[in-house]
Amino acid sequence: MVQSKDNSEVNFTIPKIKFTKLFINGEFVDSISGNTFEMIDPRNEDMIARIAEGNKDDIDLAVKAACEAFDNGPWPRLAPKERRKIMLKFMD
């Protein structure tokens, strides 16, 4: 039998959202359409952030930039350890 826990006394702080834009071509940008959507806290229905809503045009732009960066940028020549360092920066 599974018992549910009462989490009403659990203290939980919503982390500050740092990035609410799309990451394309090495920078954070608004979506081409300018459309956004709200991230809602399911506990109390408060809005946490407004996020850029990407669409096909944004995806096409991101894929084009990623292909260019991979083909002509430093990424494919970096050692795995160096790639790891870069990827871990996104966690901060």
Question: Radius of gyration (Cα) for the chain, nearest Å?
Answer: 19
Q: 80 — phi, psi (to 5°)? A: -50, -35
Give 39-70 pLDDT, tens digit per residue. 998 988 988 889 999 999 999 999 999 999 88
Bridging pattern class, strands 36-40 and 27-29: unpaired
Residue 66 tokens, joined: 């990623």
Give 1-36 pLDDT, tens digit per residue. 444 455 556 676 766 776 699 999 989 999 999 999
Q: Is 52 exposed, middle or buried (0-12, 13-18, 19+ CB in 10 A)?
A: buried
pLDDT of residue 27: 93
Residue 84 tokens, joined: 């790891």
CA atoms within 13 A on the CB side of 87: 8
